[in-house]
Structure 1
Amino acid sequence: MAGQGYTIFDTAVGRCGIAWSQAGIVGVQLPEVRELETRRRLLQQYPEAREWRPPEDVQAAIDGIVALLNGKPVDLSDIPLDTYDIPEFNCRVYEAIRRIPRGETRSYAEIAIHLYVSGAINAVANAVARNPFAIIVPCHRAITAPGQTSGFAGNAGIVTKSRLLSIEGARSGPATNLFDALLSVSAPRAQ
């Protein structure tokens, strides 16, 4: 097989797409409302790709994505990615995000600090926004600030980001509920 291939596959959240080259996965497309739209978006990003039966390593990636979206604890961090056209900084961000454990999140600021570029919060956010490897590079685990599920969520939006975090068992809301927050504000302070 020469060039890029792609396929569409079923998951618990809908029909996803995946594209690959000989070097590894080049992109994952989360489901759109209809399969036709998922396919169209994938082909807009990878116009040279042809629909093929996935090779064994790509099928293993598909199986891992399907299992993760079914709530199974799967580690996708060893799936090879084709990062040929990806800027070096973005690759560093994606590697950092791949190391975030299932069920946990990190803020853009925490990722920037981890990369020793604490002033690069916007650059981290931009890399997350351009992540072509949805699920494999779990950018749903990258959030604007602790306790918030806001931040870039791809074409699928914040609802899908929250759903992915929920599937993984991550807390997706503020650290305290509204009652506890109000109680701590109105409670008398000891002197």
Structure 2
Amino acid sequence: MAGAAYTIFDTLMGRCGIAWSDGGVLAVQLAESREIDTRRRLLRQCPDARESRPSVEIAAALGGIAATLRGAPHDFSDVQLDLGDLPAFDCRVYEAIRSIPRGQTATHADLAKQAGSSGALDAVDHAVRRNPFALIVPCHRALPVAGDTRGICANGGVITRRRLLAMEGALAAGGPSLFDVLLTAAPRQPER
């Protein structure tokens, strides 16, 4: 990855990272609990990247990421991705995921069919888990089965997925909210 660069930037969620090359975006890292961890995970994906000021195109992409994490809609269809080292099947899955409209979801079976291999559910699952382009390739919209938001998507986890889907209006009414999830995870105080 000669010529790769990266920057760390502020969002409502915390300090996120983006790496790029002349071919486009190489990776997006959502915020970890500490900036050093965000940087470390991003550099694990792009070890040759050097910290740099973003180009106009990359600045627009990171502005879109920050807007998305505030709940604002953003169209990433014009963001160029550097797919050079990725398996061809994963690239087809990412293209299919990018076509899922905001506020909607698709199942792994739907994505396998769109990628040209309807029986490749495990391969779709692996592609979703390895997605290096968080939010630009909105893997939070790719569900193992309809309505099941429990599966892990790339570098975000279940709570981040549910938060993003809720902001987009894609969660069915009646499911547990983020508040419900946090309440059930919190230790209970003894009754007096």
TM-score, normalised with respect to structure 2 = 0.86
Instruction: Give the drift of 1:154.
Output: 2.7
Q: Which residue of 1 aligns with 2:156?
A: 156
How many Å separate the matches in 2 of 1:138 and 1:170? 13
Q: How does 1:1-191 map to 2 (within 5 A)?
A: 3-171=3-171
Q: Which residue type is aligned with residue 88 of structure 2?
A: E
C-alpha distance in structure 2 between counterparts of 1:68 and 1:104, whole Å:
15
Tell me whether 34-43 or 66-75 shows the greater mean CA deviation.
66-75
**Amino acid corresponding to residue 120 of structure 1 in structure 2:** A
SS at match of 1:154: coil
TM-score, normalised relative to structure 1: 0.87
Number of aligned residue pairs = 175
Q: Which moved more, 1:44-53 or 1:148-157?
A: 148-157
Q: CA deviation at 1:176?
A: 6.2
8 A contact 1:125–1:152 mirrored in 2: no
Q: Which residue is equivalent to 1:182? A: none
**Deviation string for 1:88-118 (max 9, x for gaps)?**
1100000000000001110101111223311
Distance 2:96 2:76 in 1: 13
Percent of aligned pairs with the same amino acid? 57
**SS at structure 2 position matched to 1:33:** coil
Q: Judging changes above 3 Å, is the alpha-carbon distance between structure 1 residues 170 and 44 closer, same or farther for their aligned structure 2 residues?
A: same
Q: Deviations for 1:8-35, whole angstroms, at most 9, x for unmatched residues? A: 1111211110000011000000111111
**Structure (1 or 2) with the larger CA radius of gyration:** 1
1:20–1:27 CA contact under 8 A, matched in 2? yes
Mark the runs of 5 or more structure 1 residues left unpaired by the alignment: 179-191
Whether the 8 Å CA contact 1:32–1:156 is kept in 2: the answer is no
Closer, same or farther in 2 for the Cα pair 1:177/1:14, shift >3 Å?
A: closer
Structure 2, unmatched stretches of 5+, are: 177-192
Structure 1 residue runs of 4 or more that deviate by more than 4 Å after TM superposition: 175-178
Contact kept in structure 1, 2:98 and 2:137, CA below 8 Å = yes
Distance 2:15 2:104 in 1: 25
In the TM superposition, residue 177 of structure 1 has moved relative to its aligned partner by 6.2
